């Protein structure tokens, strides 16, 4: 479907997953789903990369922050002693 641009080899599709699949709820307790939207260091993936729409990105961000509070997601994975 989406064609690859020459310069940006990175993405292909830019649709909001939460808009496409109405079944997909954003819940801070659902760390499995949230993990798709954070990097391995625990940062929230920007929507220019994930393709989320603004509305869902806002909700997602809140959910990730709550998940961090309750230790379901890391704030960071790199600790300097």
Extract long-range pairs of 25-31: CB within 8 Å, 24+ residues apart.
Answer: 26/56, 26/59, 26/60, 26/63, 27/63, 28/62, 28/63, 28/64, 28/65, 28/66, 28/67, 28/70, 28/72, 29/67, 29/70, 29/72, 30/63, 31/67, 31/72, 31/73
Residue selected from 13, 54, 78, 80 as contacting another protein according to rule CB under 8 A:
13
The reply to whether 53 sits near Zn ion by the rule CB under 5 A is yes
Q: Is 68 in the site for another protein (CB under 8 A)?
A: yes
**Binding footprint of another protein on the chain (CB under 8 A):** 10-13, 17, 21, 23-25, 28-33, 35-40, 42, 45, 49-50, 66, 68-75
**Binding footprint of Zn ion on the chain (CB under 5 A):** 16, 18-19, 53, 56
């Amino acid at each position: 479907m989406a064609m690859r641009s020459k310069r940006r080899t990175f993405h292909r599709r830019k649709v909001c997953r939460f808009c496409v699949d109405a079944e997909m709820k954003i819940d801070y307790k659902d760390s499995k789903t949230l993990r798709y939207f954070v990097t391995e260091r625990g940062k929230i993936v920007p929507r220019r990369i994930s393709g989320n729409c603004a509305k869902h990105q806002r909700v997602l961000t809140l959910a990730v922050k709550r998940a961090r509070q309750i230790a379901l997601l890391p704030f960071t994975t790199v600790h300097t002693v």
